[in-house]
Amino acid sequence: MKQTILILLAIMTMAPVAMRAQGSESIYKPLGVGFEVGVGGMLPTGSLADVFKGCALFSGGVNVEYYRLRLKADVNYSQPSFKVSNPYAAVHDDLGRDLQLNATANPSLLGGTLLLGYTVWRQGKVSVTPAVGLTISRLSWDLNHIKYEKDDEGVERPLIENVTGTHENNVGWTASVDVDIRLHGKLVDDPLGASGSAHYNSILRISPFVSRAKFGDFSPSAQGCCLGLTVSYAGLLRMIYPSF
């Protein structure tokens, strides 16, 4: 009996200490915001590979996370090289000479993507988040309009009559898988001018992706998928508050 009373007294003495320890813990709020900046490359497939070469890719964007859901809005820029002298239908004169050729070997490709993902696996410092969404891009380059004139020796030579800018737009689907490796985290007081505390995570993000593209105005039309990979630094800020 005496031993039972001593055990009860010990439990009653330790209970307030355990409650204080539990009350001092912090809980993450479900909503997080962040950004990412990265580099990578992509390779065209299908008939796109007949028109373009692979190229480097630069990307950046913002992320919003809610529990395991992730919404990503990214902007990317690249300069794929042409494999053809003119992707449009050839324009010739009566002698079969070209009257229209690319003025730039590397067009500018500016695009944006909007993806919705879900974290399907998280273990320790590593998480995996597949995502699907929409991609919109604009391919821009210059065309030379050529004429032929005789020089002082009477030999006809090609001359650039004028240069015009042209572009092609594309809307397609895209899918990616974010493999996140958490590098380190730290507490931040009053983040972005808001009162309270937040936890900031630095993340290495490796993202293989596939995007669908079609350029119907080319002759012949070009379509296919672009396979790519980006390696990014990502930062995620998530507010915390004490539990009571």
Please list, in sequence order, all residues whose beta carbon lies within 8 angstroms of the beta carbon of residue 191, skipping any fewer than 6 positions away.
Answer: 197, 198, 200, 237, 239
Q: What percent of the chain has pLDDT over 90?
A: 68
What is the total count of domains within the chain? 1
Domain range for 99 is 27-242
Type and span of the H or E element at 225: strand 222-242
Instruction: Answer yes or no: is 182 within a domain.
Output: yes
Q: What is the pLDDT of residues 79-121, one digit of tens each?
A: 999 999 999 998 988 888 899 999 888 999 999 999 999 999 9
pTM value surpassing 0.85: no
Instruction: Answer yes or no: is 96 within a domain.
Output: yes
Half-sphere exposure of 90 (CA within 13 A, CB side): 8
Question: Can you give the CATH number for the domain in which 202 is found?
Answer: 2.40.160.20
Instruction: Answer yes or no: is 9 within a domain.
Output: no
Q: What is the pLDDT of residues 190-223, one digit of tens each?
A: 666 666 788 899 999 999 999 999 999 999 999 9
Instruction: Answer yes or no: is 189 within a domain.
Output: yes
Whose CA is closest to 74, among 192, 218, 174, 185? 174
In this prediction, residue 103 carries a pLDDT of: 86
Residue 21 has φ and ψ, to the nearest 5°, of -65, -40
Instruction: Answer yes or no: is 18 within a domain.
Output: no
Please say if the pLDDT value at position 16 is more than 50: no
